[in-house]
Structure 1
Amino acid sequence: MSEIAKQIAGLSPEQRAALRKRLAKKQAEDRNRVTRRADADSYPLSFIQERLWMLNQLEPGPLYNDYTAFRLTGPLDVPALERALTEIVRRHEALRATFPDDGGKIQQVITPAPARMELPLVNMRGATEQEVTDRAREEARLPFDLARGPLMRAKLLRLGEEEHMLLLTMHHIVTDGWSMGVLLQELGALYGAYVRGEESPLSELPIQYADYAAWQRENLRGEALERQLSYWREQLRGAPATLELPTDRPRPPVQTFNGARHYFELSADLTNALRGLSQREGATLFMTLLAAFNVLLSRYTRRDDIVVGTPVAGRGQAEVEKLIGVFINTVVLRTRLDGAPTFRELLGRVRTMTMSAFANQELPFEKLVEALRPERNLSHTPIFQVMFSFQVPAVGGSNEFAGLRINSLDADNRMSPFDLVVQLTEGPETVRGRFQYNTDLFEPETIER
């Protein structure tokens, strides 16, 4: 008998039970930890990557381009900026992924890191603001080839001696909103180091996105998958297939994605009032604004059963927080307004519903669609057609490094993936928002009202 076995044999029944409990907990933690996979020629896609690949086949073009524009003010070291971008592409395998179709089997292939990432410099000195905006929009709308890559590109516009605009565009299959925050943070650290003649201050990443994709495929199956599916089947039982907003034009037989945006801002007084109400009712500002938005949708549709989608970060494991990749998931939020509830009563319903939904957010939206098998209709998206998004900005405002001031700008590619998207951003004093809407359904005047 080994020394360890003797020690275990000497434990009391209570101590042995406690040991088994600790071992079971450690095994569960190990299962939930994303670890480095073995090197291979190709790797599986995550569930959202698989869906995005399919959607790209149905609607090839710029619809799933993620893009941003940074205004750079101050003396710019272009070689240092190019070197920083090259290092980011080397660090994050997701930015080097391609998705070739091998006889119907889609895998992601990680291409070698480039010796130098191209950063074309376009001279736009003397250009008008509209000309610069048009150039940025043109860049955002250029499609990607998922099979060949690369799926990230950069372009630098020179507006003046110390005024530039950096345009970054990536396909959504390799990035999300959180990733842009990671990229900006690394860009600042690397650029500053290279300007000073130093090497990269960033430690190597212990895992990569492909590790997460393999982990997700391995862990989300069997009992774990069925437990989540059971909740969502019950939650969405009998839910309406569409949210019939009154449109200015008939819905086309095949969904289009032409879009526009309308911006607005809630005043400081209204924002403070909403925060106060949220605090008194034990709700978050997100819940309060969602409840108000549901009232608006209910009045326009004359329905008391409202279904919308909302994005969540999808980064439940600490080890993936510093990765660039597409982790974002969509959670379906169903609100019942039957029984003529007061707003406080409705807020209570929304609070309970959202807490329950977020507790079951691990199920990829792609698996939910697959399980529910909603009747397919090419004229609209399945399960929901309106997206409600609320965030405290991780990217935005002003950043400064190595004497360079960075301001992120909102580039508009004039597209909309849903009938209507409402995006709200909480600031220190006010809430800023925008409606992104399908222009084949709605006139600008309707949205403005």
Structure 2
Amino acid sequence: MLGLDRVGALDGFFHLGGTSLQSAAVAVALDEANDVVVPVSQIHRTPTPHELARWLATAPRRPGAEPAPSVTGRPGPSKPVPLTPSVAKCVVLPFELVCPTTWWIEGELDLRALMAALGDIHHRHQALHARYRRTDPPTAIIPPNPGMPQLRLLADATTEHDALDQLAEAVQQPLDYTQGRNWRAALIRNKTTNRILFGIGIHHIAFDGWSYGLLVRDLSHAYTARHTGHKPTWTHPAPTLHQSYDEHTRLRNAADLQTQRTYWREQLRDLPRQGEGPATAPLEQTLAWGPKAGHTVTVTPEVLDRWDRAARDQRFSRSSYFVAAFASALRAIHQQDDIALLMVVAKRGSRVLDSAFTTRLNLNCVRVRFDGPQDDKLVLRVDETIRDLMRAQDVPFAETADDPAAGLSGEVVASLPTFVFQDNVVVPLELPGCRAEEVVDPYAREVPNGLTVEVLPRVDHALLRVTIRTDYLPYSFAEELNHHMLRFLEDGPAGTPTAG
């Protein structure tokens, strides 16, 4: 996994330069080789081959694979399917929680093949056609006839800006997942350039950043087949909702949850409210929908390279120096030395969950305590905090926030900003005879909270995208926050010379 000629039995995976994404790949590889259930948190808790081997000797083995659901004969009545916690929590969220994905298409688009390919994906993935029920606990019903997703053909636009606005309005309309309306697609042509803007909106209950790669691969495969007049054939069936639930249960049962809960109680004790803004509103209001705006800046290749070289030398992760930049910016604005933010952690590292359309996102808290005005060890301490977080990632923040022993108030929870490092694999959409170019939205349309900072890595640079709720924060706050983050990154790692 690390590309090394030799690894000693007592060498630590992360001290050798392993990343969180690679730790998920290790968990999958161990599962495939040994049919053993391996939570990613366990790679962080036992990072040497020696420690991991001792744990594997007593780890739970995976039961035999469930048969694929039958596609012949008359379907019987569907029984309620239990949901994983990350999906279940979306059942109480608004219908507006729609994740958009958009491409400009150049070339001769085969509309009939596209419509058929969308139908193929709709039938393949239960998450896209299930009816999610607001029961206690939440469940889903799989309809015997999934139907087809909605594809809207919009009237031609006169400019690219007009096309983007119209498509966003069409795709972002609320989706009633209780009725199985979980996603839609739309097309609009810019009659000036003859380019087509193609957009897909999927409710967050069935979609996340990792699902994006599955969507693009499946759409490219199905469209290619339909374009040549054939039905697509799949190497493996997609996991059912029930298989995803069972897999999550096995992973959770294999984790040391009590130790993780103890860590979170200590980590979050006496957590202060974070600045102003969303905390002035009730918690239930911060979970509602509201107007948003965004501000994006570019981290240049030169700045990124300096930090990445320091990260390799000092063994800290990319996400760590971006979290440090975010925390430092909040400190500069709020004049607080105890900064906390919610970090999105995707539950990856399972061959079942990694191939499922779903939301596998977990929120955990990163707490940053500053040590004086010039904190030269900040990034290293943030990195150690994130490593502790990854060891305790199986306990969601929501569970901790409801724990009386943690002592968190609703006001404190509502004030926490969110950090997302989008390290998902970026896959190009490949449609025969066409060229597709992904569109990066100016803000994260799907987030309901007051403040979210995302890092969007690209081939040789990165984007910092700040999304704010404008009913809580002025647009100038997003600009100021990005200014402070960019200044922190441009100043460079402690102990390294600046350019020039």
The alignment's TM-score, normalised by the length of structure 1, stands at 0.82
Report the equivalent of 2:10: none
The equivalent residue for 2:476 is 445
Q: Which residue of 2 aligns with 1:3?
A: none
Runs of 5+ unmatched residues, structure 1: 1-20
Identity of aligned residues (%): 23
Q: Distance in 2 between matches of 1:429 and 1:298?
A: 29
* C-alpha displacement of 1:386: 1.0
Structure-2 change in CA distance of 1:23 and 1:441 (3 Å): closer
2:335 & 2:144 partners in 1: Cα distance? 55
1:429 pairs with one of 456, 460, 475 = 460
Residue 41 (str. 1) matches residue 79 (str. 2)? yes
Judge conservation of contact 1:229–1:371 (CA < 8 Å) in 2.
no
Please say if 1:409 is aligned against 2:464: no
**Structure 1, residues 253-287: CA drift from partner, whole Å, max 9, x if none?**
54363210011112222222222222232212221
Q: 1:325 to 1:22 in 2, by over 3 A?
A: same
Residue 195 of structure 1 is matched in structure 2 by 227
Matches within 5 A, 1:355-394: 355-372=387-404, 376-377=409-410, 382=413, 385-392=416-423, 394=425
Q: 3-state DSSP class of the match of 1:213?
A: helix
Within the candidate set 135, 144, 158, 2:166 is matched to 135
Q: Work out which of the residue numbers 106, 126, 149 in structure 1 matches 2:138.
A: 106
Does residue 28 of structure 1 match 2:60? yes
Higher alpha-carbon deviation: 366-375 or 402-411: 366-375
SS in 2 for 1:353: helix
Deviations 1:94-125, CA, capped at 9 Å, x for gaps: 111112345x553211123445444232231x
Tell me which amino acid in the other structure corresponds to 1:107: T
Contact 2:420–2:452, Cα closer than 8 Å, also in 1: yes
Whether 2:376 is the aligned partner of 1:347: answer: no
- Read off the aligned partner of 2:349 and give its amino acid letter: G
Deviations 1:2-54 (A, max 9, x none): xxxxxxxxxxxxxxxxxxx99984761327x9856999511112112222212
Q: How far apart in 2 are the matches of 1:37 and 1:43?
A: 16
| SS at 2:430 equivalent | strand
1:173-224: CA deviation from partner (whole Å, max 9, x where unpaired): 1111111111011101111121122331422326323322244346636984
CA–CA distance in structure 2, aligned partners of residues 250 and 382 of structure 1: 8
Q: Which moved more, 1:85-94 or 1:412-421?
A: 412-421
Quote the residue 1:73 is aligned against: 106
Aligned match for 1:149, one of 180, 202, 222: 180
Q: Aligned residue for 2:125? A: 92
Report the CA distance between 1:341 and its aligned residue. 5.7
Separation in structure 2 between the aligned mates of residue 129 and residue 265 of structure 1, nearest angstrom: 22
Q: Which moved more, 1:70-79 or 1:108-117?
A: 108-117
Aligned CA RMSD, in angstroms, stands at: 3.1
1-structure distance, mates of 2:432, 2:232: 14
Report the equivalent of 2:280.
251
Secondary structure at the aligned position of 2:296 is classed as strand
Q: Distance in 2 between matches of 1:91 and 1:381?
A: 42
Contact 1:96–1:112, Cα closer than 8 Å, also in 2: no
Structure-2 change in CA distance of 1:368 and 1:214 (3 Å): farther
Q: Distance in 1 between matches of 2:54 and 2:381?
A: 38
Match of 1:159 among 166, 170, 190: 190
* Contact residue 306 and residue 334 of structure 1 kept, 8 A: yes
* Contact 1:388/1:421 (8 A) holds in 2: yes
2:82 aligned partner, one-letter code? P
Q: CA deviation at 1:333?
A: 1.0
Q: Larger C-alpha radius of gyration, 1 or 2?
A: 1
CA, structure 1 residues 101+329, in 2 after alignment: closer, same or farther (shift >3 Å)?
A: closer
- Paired AA for residue 180 in structure 1: Y
Question: For residue 89 of structure 2, what is the aligned residue in structure 1?
Answer: 51
Report the residue type matching 2:223 in the other structure.
Y
Q: For structure 2, which runs of at least 5 residues remain unmatched after alignment?
A: 1-52, 70-75, 481-500
- Larger mean CA deviation between 170-179 and 277-286 belongs to 277-286
Which sits farther off after the overlay, 429-438 or 93-102? 93-102
Q: Give 1:342 deviation, angstroms.
A: 2.9
Which range moves more in the overlay, 129-138 or 325-334? 129-138
- The one-letter code sitting in structure 2 at the alignment partner of 1:48 is S
Which residue identity does 2:113 align to in structure 1?
A
- For the residue of structure 2 that corresponds to 1:165, the secondary structure is strand
SS in structure 2 opposite 1:89?
Answer: helix
